Chain A
C-alpha cells in the first residue's frame, strides 16, 4: 500500500509532447476575464475540445498551459499568445478549429503553430489607446504633447521591501502615433513588456490624467503587438 501512495498518478503516460502556440483574441465581454480566470477558462476549453492534451508529470497532474504575457483586466487584444503541448501530432488547423468552437463570447482562436521565439525574447508591446476625458479631444492632445515634452516623468513604484521608489518612466514611453477626432484622443504607444521590465499602459494614462487633473469618461486600451528587441513580432 505504501508504494502505491508514492506512485505518481500518470507515470505511464507517454513522454512525447508536441508543442503548440495559439494566438487568440480577447475582446468585448471577455475583457473582464482576469488573468487567473483566463487560465481556468482555457483549461476547461481544452477539456471540452477534447484535445489530446499533455499533462504535467507528477503527483498532481494538471494541464500544462503557459502565457508569455499577462493582459491586464479590461484590455482588449487580438494578438494574445498561449502555449501548450499535445500527446499527438495534431494538425494546426484542427487544433485551432476545435478550440475555437469552445471559446466564450469575445474570444477567438486566430491561429495555431509551432512556438518560434522563447518567452524571454519579448521586450516590448504596442498598445492603441482611445480616450475621452472631461476636456475636448484637441485640448487633451495638446496636453499629451506637453506630457511627452517633459524630461522626466516620475512615478512611485513599490519595491519588494515595501518601500516606495521613484522611477522615471519617460524614457520607456515611445509614442508612435497621436491624433484626435471630435470625440476621442488616439494614442499608439510602445512600452516595455516581458520578464525584465514592464510598464502598464494604464499607469501611463493614469499618470497623464493625474498630472493635468483630468477625469476619463471612456478609456479603451488594446494591445496590438508583442515585440522582440529588434522590433520584430513575437511568434
Chain B
C-alpha cells in the first residue's frame, strides 16, 4: 500500500537495521493483489532475525505461494524502537511483500515455537489493529490460526485463536485454504466456516469445546459442544516424507539473521526417545529423505539463494540410515562450489572418524555435545543412551584432530536428580579436559576450553515427564551452588543462570484455559518479548497470576497422577498415553528403553504413518 510505504520512507532511517522492515529481498514472492483470492499473513511472533531463520515458515510460505491465486506474506514482531515509531505514525502491522495492513487479510497465522513468544501474538494482533480475543473478532476474516510445537497444548492461548492446526502443516494448510476459497463466495459467518473447518483432520477449534474442572483445580472433562467437533483431534503427519513439498528457494535477507544459510531437512522425527524431549515424541515417527532428494534440494537451494553454507536440519542427523554415503555424496557438490556443509544435531554415540573428517574438511570449529546429565544413573533415567566411554572416546578423537573447544550441555532439575548427579557434571567436564592434556602436544591445538552450560529442566506435554514436577527455584539455586563449587579448573567455563523464564515456561507449557486470563492481564501490564532478557518482566507476570488466581506451584511443581485428565487430553499426538506412563515408570526404575532402530517399543504410532522403523514402507534406494 502506497500510504504505508510513504510513511515508512519517513521513519525507516530512524530504526535500527531498517532493511528488516521493508521487504524486497531476493526470493520474496510479490503478486498482484487484485488477482489473488486468499491472502495469508504468516506471522512469526518474534523479531525478523529469529523468525527468518525458521524452516517451517520457509516451507509453508513456498507451499502456499505455489498456488497462483493465493498469496502468503511474512510478518514479524518489530523491535521496540521500530514498534514505537510505527505507533507514533499510525502504521498498522503490515505484510513485508505488499506492505498492506494484515487486518485486511483472510488468514493470520502464527507459529507457536516456544511458550515465551505467546504474548507477542497478542501484541502483534493489537499492532495490526485487531481485538486480541477471538470472541471479539466477529467477522469472518481475518481468521486467526496457530500451528507449531506449542499447539500440542494450546489451551493457555485458546481465547485468542479461532483455530489451531495440529502436527505437520504441508497437507492440512492446503485443505484449510481450499475450504475457505470454496466457501468465501457464499459469505459464511465465522461460525459456519469454523464448523466446516473442524471436520478437517488436524483442525482444532477451541471454542467448540467446554472444559469442566474438579474441586481440586484439575481438569474434569473436555467435551465438544457442536456436532462437527471430534472428541479427539489427531495431529497430521506426512506419511511419504520423501515426496513432501520442499521449497527450491528461500527468501534471502539483507541483514544478518540467526541462521543465515541454506537449510535442507534430511529427516523428521527421532528414534531416540529421550524422556525429557518433547520434539522426540511429538514429531514421531522417524522418516527420512532419500539421498538423491536431499542432494537435489541442496543444489537447488544453493543455486537459487547464492548462500555459501548449507546446513542439514533434523533432530539427529547422524541417525539417517545412510549418513556416511549422504555426506560423501553431498560434499562432492559442496566442495566444488565452495559451499560449507554444516552438520548440527550430531549425536555423540554415532560420531565416528569418518564423520569427523567430513566436518574437518569444511571448518574446524568447536564441538558441541549434549550429555544432558552428569552421571550414567541419571542418563539412564532420562533415557539419554550414551555412556561415558562414548563421550570420552569422541572427545579424545576430537582433541587429536586439533579441536580446542568442547561445549557440553546439561540440564538441572531432572526427575530423581541428586547432588551426586550434579557433581557428576563437573567430574565429566574435568575428565574431558584431562583428555586434552593427555593428547600429545604435536597433535593437539594450542589452548583448550571446555564450556559447560546447565539449563533448567521444564517438563513438557506428550513426554514421559509430563507428570513430573519442575524443581523449585530454591532447589535449582542449591544445585547451581553444588555445581559451582565442584568446578575447579579455569579451563572449564560454567555458564548457567537461574532464570524465572523457565518457571513461566513450565506454567504455560502444561497450563489450561484458565491461564488465558492471566496471559491477557500480563500483556496488558506490558509483558511481551519475554524471551529477551531485557524485556522480561517477571514481577508483572506474578501480579497477573495473582490477580487471576493462578497458583504457579499447581501448574509447575505438582506431581500429576497418571489418570489425571490433562488439559491437552483431547489432542492426539499418536504416541499413546500408556506408552508415556510406561516410560515414566521405567525412568523411576532407572531403566532405559531401546531406540526405534534397535527394536520397536510400542509407542503407539501406526505403520501407515510411514516411519522407517514402524514396519511400514522402507526408504528405497
Write the residues of chain A forming the contact surface with B, with a CB cutoff of 8 angstroms. 5, 10, 28-30, 32-34, 36-38, 40-41, 43-48, 50, 55, 61-63, 73-74, 102, 104-106, 217-218
The residue of chain B having its C-beta at the shortest distance from the C-beta of A74 within the complex is: B13
The residue of chain B having its C-beta at the shortest distance from the C-beta of A105 within the complex is: B24
Q: Given contacts A32-B18, A73-B13, is CB(A43)–CB(B26) below 8 Å?
A: no
The residue of chain A having its C-beta at the shortest distance from the C-beta of B305 within the complex is: A44
Residues of chain B within 8 A (CB-CB) of A37 are 19, 254-256
Residues of chain A within 8 A (CB-CB) of B308 are 43-44, 47, 62-63
Q: Mark B244-263, 1 if CB is under 8 A from A, else 0.
A: 00000000101110000000
- Tally of A-B Cβ pairs under 8 angstroms: 71
Q: Mark B13-24, 1 if CB is under 8 A from A, else 0.
A: 100011100111
Nearest-neighbour CB distance to chain A for B425, whole angstroms, equals 32
Q: Would you call B22 and A29 a contact (CB within 8 A)?
A: yes
Residues of chain A within 8 A (CB-CB) of B360 are 5
Q: Give complex CA distance A105, B308 in Å.
A: 22
Q: List 29 A-B contacts (CB under 8 A).
A: A5-B402, A29-B22, A32-B12, A32-B254, A33-B19, A34-B19, A34-B254, A40-B256, A41-B26, A41-B252, A44-B305, A44-B306, A44-B307, A44-B308, A45-B26, A47-B302, A47-B306, A48-B303, A48-B306, A55-B338, A62-B308, A63-B308, A73-B13, A74-B12, A102-B26, A104-B25, A104-B254, A105-B24, A218-B10
The residue of chain A having its C-beta at the shortest distance from the C-beta of B249 within the complex is: A48
Nearest-neighbour CB distance to chain A for B546, whole angstroms, equals 44
Q: Would you call B304 and A32 a contact (CB within 8 A)?
A: no
Nearest-neighbour CB distance to chain B for A70, whole angstroms, equals 15
Q: Which of B22, B256, B306, B338 contacts A45 (CB 8 A)?
A: B306
Q: Give complex CA distance A28, B99 in Å.
A: 14
Nearest-neighbour CB distance to chain B for A14, whole angstroms, equals 15
The residue of chain A having its C-beta at the shortest distance from the C-beta of B99 within the complex is: A29
Q: Given contacts A29-B24, A33-B19, A37-B19, is CB(A44)–CB(B256) below 8 Å?
A: no
Residues of chain A within 8 A (CB-CB) of B302 are 47
Q: Would you call A61 and B255 a contact (CB within 8 A)?
A: no
Residues of chain B within 8 A (CB-CB) of A43 are 306, 308
Q: Give complex CA distance A62, B340 in Å.
A: 11
The residue of chain A having its C-beta at the shortest distance from the C-beta of B15 within the complex is: A32
Q: Which of A48, A62, A217 contacts B305 (CB 8 A)?
A: A48
Nearest-neighbour CB distance to chain B for A205, whole angstroms, equals 12
Q: Would you call A46 and B25 a contact (CB within 8 A)?
A: no
Q: Mark B481-502, 1 if CB is under 8 A from A, else 0.
A: 0000000000000000000000
Write the residues of chain B forming the contact surface with A, with a CB cutoff of 8 angstroms. 10, 12-13, 17-19, 22-26, 252, 254-256, 302-308, 338, 360, 402
Residues of chain B within 8 A (CB-CB) of A50 are 303
Q: Would you call B24 and A34 a contact (CB within 8 A)?
A: no
Nearest-neighbour CB distance to chain A for B446, whole angstroms, equals 14
Q: Give complex CA distance A48, B307 in Å.
A: 9
Residues of chain A within 8 A (CB-CB) of B304 are 48
Q: Would you call B402 and A32 a contact (CB within 8 A)?
A: no
Q: Which of B17, B24, B255 contacts A104 (CB 8 A)?
A: B24
Nearest-neighbour CB distance to chain B for A189, whole angstroms, equals 19
Nearest-neighbour CB distance to chain A for B11, whole angstroms, equals 11
Nearest-neighbour CB distance to chain A for B272, whole angstroms, equals 32
Q: Give complex CA distance A10, B338 in Å.
A: 9
Most chain A beta-carbon contacts within 10 A, residue among B252, B302, B304, B360: B252
Q: Which of A28, A41, A62, A217 contacts B254 (CB 8 A)?
A: A41
Q: Would you call A61 and B338 a contact (CB within 8 A)?
A: yes
- Minimum-distance CB pairs A-B, first 6: A44-B306, A47-B306, A29-B24, A48-B306, A105-B24, A37-B254
Q: Give complex CA distance A211, B255 in Å.
A: 35
Residues of chain B within 8 A (CB-CB) of A36 are 256
Nearest-neighbour CB distance to chain B for A131, whole angstroms, equals 13
Q: Give complex CA distance A170, B293 in Å.
A: 64
Task: Give me 5 other A-B pairs in contact (C-beta within 8 A), A41-B252, A104-B26 excluded.
Answer: A29-B24, A32-B12, A37-B254, A43-B306, A102-B306
Nearest-neighbour CB distance to chain B for A13, whole angstroms, equals 10
Q: Given contacts A5-B402, A34-B255, A61-B338, is CB(A29)–CB(B23) below 8 Å?
A: yes
Nearest-neighbour CB distance to chain A for B198, whole angstroms, equals 41
Q: Would you call B254 and A33 a contact (CB within 8 A)?
A: yes
Q: Would you call A46 and B306 a contact (CB within 8 A)?
A: yes
Nearest-neighbour CB distance to chain B for A85, whole angstroms, equals 15
Q: Give complex CA distance A60, B165 in Å.
A: 45
Residues of chain B within 8 A (CB-CB) of A41 are 26, 252, 254
Residues of chain B within 8 A (CB-CB) of A29 are 22-24
Q: Which of B10, B13, B24, B252 contacts A44 (CB 8 A)?
A: B252
Q: Give complex CA distance A44, B338 in Å.
A: 12
Residues of chain B within 8 A (CB-CB) of A38 are 254
Nearest-neighbour CB distance to chain A for B10, whole angstroms, equals 7
Nearest-neighbour CB distance to chain B for A55, whole angstroms, equals 6
Q: Give complex CA distance A92, B326 in Å.
A: 39
Q: Which of B18, B22, B252 contacts A73 (CB 8 A)?
A: B18
Q: Give complex CA distance A47, B307 in Å.
A: 8
Residues of chain A within 8 A (CB-CB) of B305 are 44, 48
Residues of chain B within 8 A (CB-CB) of A106 are 24
Residues of chain A within 8 A (CB-CB) of B26 are 41, 44-45, 48, 102, 104
The residue of chain B having its C-beta at the shortest distance from the C-beta of A202 within the complex is: B13
Residues of chain B within 8 A (CB-CB) of A33 are 19, 254
Q: Which of B17, B23, B25, B303 contacts A34 (CB 8 A)?
A: B17
The residue of chain A having its C-beta at the shortest distance from the C-beta of B335 within the complex is: A9
Q: Give complex CA distance A61, B256 in Å.
A: 20
Residues of chain B within 8 A (CB-CB) of A55 are 338
The residue of chain A having its C-beta at the shortest distance from the C-beta of B254 within the complex is: A37
Nearest-neighbour CB distance to chain A for B240, whole angstroms, equals 31
The residue of chain A having its C-beta at the shortest distance from the C-beta of B443 within the complex is: A2
Residues of chain A within 8 A (CB-CB) of B402 are 5
The residue of chain A having its C-beta at the shortest distance from the C-beta of B14 within the complex is: A74
Nearest-neighbour CB distance to chain B for A43, whole angstroms, equals 7
Q: Given contacts A47-B308, A73-B13, is CB(A30)–CB(B24) below 8 Å?
A: yes
Residues of chain A within 8 A (CB-CB) of B306 are 43-48, 102
Residues of chain B within 8 A (CB-CB) of A30 are 24
Q: Give complex CA distance A104, B23 in Å.
A: 10
The residue of chain B having its C-beta at the shortest distance from the C-beta of A38 within the complex is: B254
Residues of chain B within 8 A (CB-CB) of A63 are 308
Residues of chain A within 8 A (CB-CB) of B19 are 32-34, 37
Q: Give complex CA distance A48, B304 in Å.
A: 6
Q: Give complex CA distance A104, B25 in Å.
A: 6
Residues of chain B within 8 A (CB-CB) of A104 are 24-26, 254
The residue of chain A having its C-beta at the shortest distance from the C-beta of B361 within the complex is: A9
Residues of chain A within 8 A (CB-CB) of B24 are 28-30, 104-106
Residues of chain A within 8 A (CB-CB) of B307 are 44, 47
The residue of chain A having its C-beta at the shortest distance from the C-beta of B260 within the complex is: A40
Nearest-neighbour CB distance to chain A for B469, whole angstroms, equals 47
Q: Give complex CA distance A104, B304 in Å.
A: 13
Q: Give complex CA distance A96, B583 in Å.
A: 63
Nearest-neighbour CB distance to chain A for B165, whole angstroms, equals 32
Residues of chain B within 8 A (CB-CB) of A74 are 12-13
Nearest-neighbour CB distance to chain B for A156, whole angstroms, equals 21
Q: Give complex CA distance A10, B361 in Å.
A: 12
Residues of chain B within 8 A (CB-CB) of A34 are 17, 19, 254-255
Residues of chain A within 8 A (CB-CB) of B256 are 36-37, 40
